[in-house]
Chain A
Amino acid sequence: MLGLNKKDASLLLVVVILTMFAPFFLNPFPTESAMAQFNAGYPDLMQRFVIFGIFAIGFNLLFGLTGYLSFGHAAFLGVGSYAVVWMYKLLDYNVLPGLLLAVVVSAIFALAIGYISLRRSGIYFSILTLAFAQMMFAISYSDLIGRFLGISLTNGETGLQVYTSDPQVLLNDWETVPHLLGLIEMRSTYTLDLAGWSFDFNAGYYFCAFVMILAFYLAIRIFRSPFGLMLRAIKSNQQRLNYTGLNTRPYMLAVFVISGVYAGLAGGLMASMDPLAGAERMQWTASGEVVLMTILGGAGTLIGPVLGAGFIKYFENIFSKINENVLHTWFNFMPDGLENFVVAIIYPFIGKGWHLTLGLMFMMVVIFLPGGLVEGGQRIAKLLKRGKKDDDGANTATATKPAE
């Protein structure tokens, strides 16, 4: 099916089903119940799941396949966002021209940055990409190029947004929010109430999900292509490839640009959901985040980055919401002294302490589980000796060597 073998086709099918029915899966608890705080099925969060999924899939194409650790991928994310908002400002609120521009502009940036950074490998490559990203962050945060040209290009620290004074040559009267070809508004949501449960079906989410499935399909094709095989060869022994007379640079540059375009697309989708773009999207912590997602999910595997992105975004939201009072209600059944003790132990790791948990979790994964969640799943599957019966089977089939 679609040029995929059976295992890949079933993996793609699983992803399609998961994304299409996500509003159901993510809202398993009735709205009135105490467990409702674990629901993640609201539009904003679901959009972030898929957008960061795209970002991580793209990053994984570079890092998972070739082992080149880029620490500056957020630069392309920011560029994509700016491109989309500029299209809003110049044309109208239709997202398609913006996304197209985001793809083109991020490809150009990736080509330039990749051309220079890929002259070096290993730690030098990481630091070069980091330096470029920080440079672009500084440039857009202070709007240096804009100031140089005498216009407002990134609008500095305020962030780029649409003003009524902007040209918007194609704007119609009814346009106030981002939409797709005038057919659907991105923020329009249909809420289905079913006996205590409520499910949100958001147009923007489905648009992003559609793009993610396309991105995922493309990633599978790249993984299975001769091109993908070449990239893996670069990862396992670049020197030997060079000695056999092969120039690896064009391959590396191609995958760097593809991966940059994925990031640009993800950035563009962010601005499509919410017509804003800020420099903080480019900061190196944002680049670090996508590295965390990919490693946590399992670098070099197809489904890993998507899982990692969903995992981090879900827990970021849920953990941040839990506060001391919630903890006290949970451990209410314990004797008072013990309750306070348990709450005091857990408290540093939740709420504002979410980053601490994330850091610890990340360290644990790097130390004990270099293949990420996917490897963890495989190990459990092996332990249970279930073989290739269910989803784990699909994961096993697509998993490759853990990241290096």
Chain B
Amino acid sequence: MDAIILQVLNGLDKGSAYALIALGLTLIFGTLGVVNFAHGALFMIGAFCAVTLQRILSISKVTLSETKKNFLGQPSEIKTPYVESWFGPEVGASIIDWSVPLAIIFSIPVMIIIGVIMERGLIKHFYKRPHADQILVTFGLAIVLQEVIKYFYGANPIPTGAPDVFKGSFDFGVMLGYEANAIIYPYWRLVYFGFSAIIIAAVFAFLQFTTFGMVVRAGMADRETVGLLGINIDKRFTIMFGLAAAVAGLAGVMYAPINSPNYHMGMDFLVLSFVVVVVGGMGSLPGAVLAGFMLGILESFASMNQVKAILPGIDQIIIYVVAIIVLLTRPRGLLGRKGVMEE
């Protein structure tokens, strides 16, 4: 039993990332009808927002030490980050320490702007073109974004730590009455899961309970009629694209401490996220979330030693196998709506 709980927990953080990216993909697909292959790149840019903020905060004033000398006999340099000299050493140090959570605030406007530019500048021109063209142009864009990041940040992963408070892990098993060390779970992964649950809830609440969301939902169902009613649906859809970009970006920001950001992390997640979207059902938001968590948990179950002993390496292909089975038995995906993407 404890092993099962552990695997469910392990699956949650990866599942959260899948769910968030798939949610954004579905938002874009449901509103604009565009298959966005550059969505993984947005996830990666989010992670690099965290890296960037950490670097900005750590910009230091260099002073020469009066007492210490380096090996050449010259006075050695002391680096004091500006934030420390402005807010005092303790507050400053904790600001730097908390740079990843702070990057959430930093990344939202950045991601929305990137998303809106992408939609207005490029994707707008592809609504009338076939899906294959949309895939191709966003695929090209993904390559470009990835290479730009690689040019500025290099090809190596950049470790970006979580705040010290969240370092280490806690013993989940003791709380449930198991012996110590049976279920150990890192704090940050729990934070990640909680965070993504909040984001998912917020997106759903936004669509369900605000007038804006209502209009968007109406537009998803029947764009033409909403347009005929005199509502500027294009503008709203552009904002939804920005929102979807922000969701992907936030997923990336918070993922930075779990997996050091590197330039190809977006592509790695993208392929799986597409599979998640298809399994959940194209255009279905609850389906994307459900499939994201389901596949994340399945993946971690498949990596259990007991399972691997019977079917070696099943953990690497389980998602694809499930996707193929789902697509063949339920062509619309788990929660797919009728009439969406049926050619």
Interface residues of A (CB under 8 A from B): 67, 69, 116, 119-124, 126-128, 130-132, 134-135, 138-139, 142, 144, 147-148, 238, 284-285, 288, 291, 295, 348, 353, 355-356, 358-360, 362-363, 366-367, 370, 403-404
**Most A CB within 10 A of own CB, among B136, B144, B317, B331:** B136
B324 at interface, CB cutoff 8 A: yes
Other-chain residue from A124, A135, A291, A353 in contact with B321 (beta carbon distance below 8 A): A135
Q: What B residues does A291 contact at CB under 8 A?
A: 136, 139
Nearest Cβ distance between residue B154 and chain A, in whole angstroms? 10
- A37 to B154, alpha carbons, bound, how many Å? 27
Is the contact region of chain A dominated by helix, strand, or loop, or is it mixed? Answer: helix
Is the contact region of chain B dominated by helix, strand, or loop, or is it mixed? Answer: helix
Nearest Cβ distance between residue A140 and chain B, in whole angstroms? 11
A121 and B343 form a contact (CB under 8 A): yes
B313 and A366 form a contact (CB under 8 A): no
Nearest Cβ distance between residue A64 and chain B, in whole angstroms? 11
Residues from 142 to 156 in B contacting A, C-beta threshold 8 Å? 142-144, 146-148, 151
B313 and A139 form a contact (CB under 8 A): yes
Q: What B residues does A362 contact at CB under 8 A?
A: 136, 139-140, 143
Other-chain residue from B137, B148, B316, B320 in contact with A131 (beta carbon distance below 8 A): B320
Q: What B residues does A356 contact at CB under 8 A?
A: 143-144, 147-148, 151
Nearest Cβ distance between residue A99 and chain B, in whole angstroms? 29
- A233 to B123, alpha carbons, bound, how many Å? 29
Proximity string of chain B (127-169) to chain A, C-beta cutoff 8 Å, 1 when within and 0 when not: 0001111011101111110111001000000000000000000
Q: What A residues does B289 contact at CB under 8 A?
A: none
Proximity string of chain B (305-343) to chain A, C-beta cutoff 8 Å, 1 when within and 0 when not: 000000111101100110110011001000000000101
A144 and B312 form a contact (CB under 8 A): yes
Given contact pairs A348-B151, A367-B137, A132 touches B320 in the complex (Cβ within 8 A) = yes
B135 and A116 form a contact (CB under 8 A): no
Nearest 4 CB-CB pairings of A with B: A359-B143, A356-B147, A144-B313, A363-B140
Given contact pairs A123-B131, A127-B278, A148 touches B147 in the complex (Cβ within 8 A) = no
B317 and A138 form a contact (CB under 8 A): yes
Given contact pairs A132-B320, A366-B137, A67 touches B274 in the complex (Cβ within 8 A) = no
B271 and A130 form a contact (CB under 8 A): yes
Given contact pairs A122-B131, A363-B140, A135 touches B151 in the complex (Cβ within 8 A) = no
Other-chain residue from B142, B320, B331, B343 in contact with A119 (beta carbon distance below 8 A): B331
Nearest Cβ distance between residue B122 and chain A, in whole angstroms? 8
Nearest Cβ distance between residue A83 and chain B, in whole angstroms? 21
Nearest Cβ distance between residue A329 and chain B, in whole angstroms? 23
Nearest Cβ distance between residue A243 and chain B, in whole angstroms? 14
**Most A CB within 10 A of own CB, among B140, B328, B343:** B140
- A116 to B311, alpha carbons, bound, how many Å? 23
Q: What A residues does B282 contact at CB under 8 A?
A: 123-124
Q: What A residues does B139 contact at CB under 8 A?
A: 288, 291, 362
Nearest Cβ distance between residue B142 and chain A, in whole angstroms? 8
A127 and B274 form a contact (CB under 8 A): yes
B144 and A363 form a contact (CB under 8 A): yes
A353 and B151 form a contact (CB under 8 A): yes
- A389 to B313, alpha carbons, bound, how many Å? 59
B19 at interface, CB cutoff 8 A: no
B313 and A359 form a contact (CB under 8 A): no
- A123 to B146, alpha carbons, bound, how many Å? 23
B96 at interface, CB cutoff 8 A: no
- Nearest A residue (CB) for B148: A356
Q: What A residues does B235 contact at CB under 8 A?
A: none
- Nearest A residue (CB) for B313: A144
- Nearest B residue (CB) for A142: B313
Q: What A residues does B216 contact at CB under 8 A?
A: none
**Most A CB within 10 A of own CB, among B143, B275, B312, B314:** B143
Other-chain residue from A284, A348, A359 in contact with B271 (beta carbon distance below 8 A): A284
Q: What A residues does B148 contact at CB under 8 A?
A: 356
B274 and A359 form a contact (CB under 8 A): no
B141 and A359 form a contact (CB under 8 A): yes
- A353 to B341, alpha carbons, bound, how many Å? 37
Q: What A residues does B142 contact at CB under 8 A?
A: 359
- A147 to B143, alpha carbons, bound, how many Å? 35
Q: What A residues does B327 contact at CB under 8 A?
A: 119-120, 124, 128
- Nearest B residue (CB) for A131: B320
Q: What A residues does B140 contact at CB under 8 A?
A: 359-360, 362-363, 366
Q: What B residues does A132 contact at CB under 8 A?
A: 320, 324
Q: What B residues does A139 contact at CB under 8 A?
A: 313, 316-317
Q: What A residues does B274 contact at CB under 8 A?
A: 127, 130
Nearest Cβ distance between residue B301 and chain A, in whole angstroms? 17
Q: What B residues does A355 contact at CB under 8 A?
A: 143, 146-147
In the assembled complex, 10 residue pairs joining A and B whose CB atoms fall closer than 8 Å, in A order, are A69-B132, A69-B136, A119-B327, A124-B327, A130-B271, A131-B324, A353-B151, A355-B146, A359-B141, A363-B137
